[in-house]
Amino acid sequence: MSRLSPFNVVSLTLGFAFLYLPMLILIVYSFNESQLVTVWAGFSTKWYGELARNEAFLDAAWVTLRVAFFSSTIATVLGTMAAYVLVRGGRFFGRTLFSGMIYAPLVMPEVITGLSLLLLFIGLGLDRGILTIVLAHTTFSMCYVSVVVSSRLVTFDRSLEEAALDLGCSPAEAFRLVTLPIIAPAVISGWLLAFTLSLDDLVIASFTAGPSATTLPIKIFSAVRLGVTPEINALSTIMIGIVTVGVIIASISTKRARVKAEADERMAQRTA
């Protein structure tokens, strides 16, 4: 039903303006000469220079990237295992509890997740720092990975795995040679999701970070509470830019992969 009425056009235009104008304003004003963010005083890139000289922000950015890399990588491994177990694992003791523990963190308010993990770390006597943030981020993002991967596994034709097993593959080989290549796009998007969730997280990181390790969101939050600053605008612009480029590349490459898969299928049908 593709009949756009004037109402549809207006609501789409206003809707996307609402979604994008705030970020556009942020980007434009990051190039503002003036310290006053709401008054335009001419084009300048000086806030990017200021940002590059701000040691505290750079340190926090480096901590954040390391945390995001490690937590998303561990979460992808654990989340893929969990998805495989849930979809293919059959029955085992405590399966209901397991699937409950996969879905509960998705709806758990962040303040509660953060609080409970902090209480655990204190109980264990673990010093709060990069390690504790990685543990915390891995725990909630593995659940997101598992949901993304299991939705792919559910639609996956099981007979392909069975064929590999019939042809003499061990279960591990069947997984590596057949299952993994097919679910790879879901695994990659799970990793990306885990990575951005970790980059973005303020609440859980605030509970689990110690004085030795501050992440970028924590730094931004404490700066932003005091007011709007052009430096934060510059930082936001860089982050928005990276995400936009990333999403565009990802969508182009999945589109290419789909076109290629369709071409392969047509070829296969012709030769058959």
Which residues, numbered 107-166, are part of the site for other proteins (CB under 8 A)? 107-112, 115-117, 119-120, 122-123, 135-136, 138-139, 142, 146
What is the C-alpha separation between 223 and 28, in angstroms, rounded? 20
Stretch that binds other proteins, among 1-9, 42-50, 53-61, 176-184 (CB under 8 A): 1-9
Q: How large is the angle between the packed helices 46-53 and 55-88, nearest 10 degrees?
A: 80
What is the C-alpha separation between 126 and 256, in angstroms, rounded? 47
Q: How far is the CB of 23 from other proteins (least distance, A)?
A: 6
Q: How far is the CB of 18 from other proteins (least distance, A)?
A: 7
Q: How far is the CB of 243 from other proteins (least distance, A)?
A: 5
From the list 220, 194, 195, the residue with the least C-alpha distance to 206 is: 220
Stretch that binds other proteins, among 47-55, 176-184, 243-251, 264-272 (CB under 8 A): 243-251
Q: How far is the CB of 38 from other proteins (least distance, A)?
A: 5
Q: Binding of other proteins at residue 263 (CB under 8 A)?
A: no
Choose between 212 and 254: whose C-beta lies nearer to other proteins: 254
The two tokens of residue 203 are 């609440």
**Under rule CB under 8 A, which residues in 168-187 are in contact with other proteins?**
171-172
**Under rule CB under 8 A, which residues in 185-204 are in contact with other proteins?**
196, 199-200, 202-203
For residues 198 and 70, is the Cβ–Cβ distance under 8 A?
A: no
**Under rule CB under 8 A, which residues in 49-108 are in contact with other proteins?**
78-79, 81-82, 84-85, 89, 92, 94, 98, 101-102, 104-105, 107-108
Total site size for other proteins, rule CB under 8 A? 80
**Alpha-carbon separation of residue 102 from 27, 85, 95, 152, 237 (angstroms):** 38, 11, 11, 16, 34
**Under rule CB under 8 A, which residues in 11-40 are in contact with other proteins?**
11-12, 15-16, 18-20, 22-23, 25-26, 29, 37-38
**Alpha-carbon separation of residue 122 from 70, 131, 134, 186, 222 (angstroms):** 22, 13, 16, 36, 24
Strand locations in 118-240, DSSP E? none
From the list 191, 185, 190, the residue with the least C-alpha distance to 253 is: 185
Choose between 145 and 213: whose C-beta lies nearer to other proteins: 145
